[in-house]
Amino acid sequence: MMINFEDDNEVEKLLKKIDTDIIKLESEKRYKHSLGVMKKAEELAKLYGENINKAKLVGLAHDIGKDLSKEEKLEYVKNNDIKIDEIEKINTGLLHAKIGADICKKKYGFSKDMQNAIKYHTVGNKNMDTFSKIIFIADKIEDGRNYKNEKKMKQLEETRKLANIDLNKALLFLIDSSLEFTLQKKELIHPDSIDTRNRIIMDNK
């Protein structure tokens, strides 16, 4: 199944199908977040010259596997031959990105770049293109995001400003903020986040 991204009627039908599916699969809070990411991804796609219909579809569908249980996630990756690493086996919350990409490929015919955007939206990837960066950032700064922690709220506001100026600066700021928080909690850091950070810095030397 190939999606014609220039056909707004076809895209609208697919959006409605995905919307119906995620209402069944996601909590109310997750569903509102998905709508928020779709809106923010559309805004950033317009700003940076990416395909708006692709951005809306991926923004809406990006968390489609997130509300599966730990056991369901592990069963899905096993049954669908999805390779996972040691950190993902321990932190199974990360698996929803790979699971979501697989679901969207098989169920909705998402193209490779759309699959990658979903796959990379949690910890990043050194090979992220502009579209993947838009989805990663939209997920973190959608309008419904809000934190009680004053420092995290200031970081969110700063990321929102940067996102409208420079995607790479916004992405680097996001990763640095996330790494700081993860280190404070003494939790595992996925190497893809480090590789993504290093790639941004090297590319801007």
pLDDT at residue 1, as a whole number? 67
Cα dihedral value 117, 135, 92, 180, nearest 10: 120
Kindly state whether residue 49 falls inside one of the protein's structural domains: yes
Kindly state whether residue 188 falls inside one of the protein's structural domains: no
CA separation, residue 193 to residues 91, 93, 199 (Å):
14, 15, 10
CATH number for the domain that contains residue 141: 1.10.3210.10
Kindly state whether residue 115 falls inside one of the protein's structural domains: yes
Kindly state whether residue 169 falls inside one of the protein's structural domains: no
Enclosing domain of residue 113: 8-145
Domain count, the chain: 1
Which residues of the chain carry a pLDDT beneath 50?
Answer: none
Kindly state whether residue 75 falls inside one of the protein's structural domains: yes
The whole-angstrom separation of Cα 142 and Cα 160 is 9
Q: In sequence order, which residues have a C-beta less than 8 Å from that of residue 133 and are 6 or more positions away? A: 167, 168, 171
DSSP H helical segments within 6-147, as ranges? 8-25, 28-48, 52-61, 70-79, 86-90, 95-108, 112-119, 130-141
Reduce the DSSP state of residue 126 to 3 states and report it.
Answer: coil
Kindly state whether residue 57 falls inside one of the protein's structural domains: yes
Kindly state whether residue 69 falls inside one of the protein's structural domains: yes
Kindly state whether residue 195 falls inside one of the protein's structural domains: no
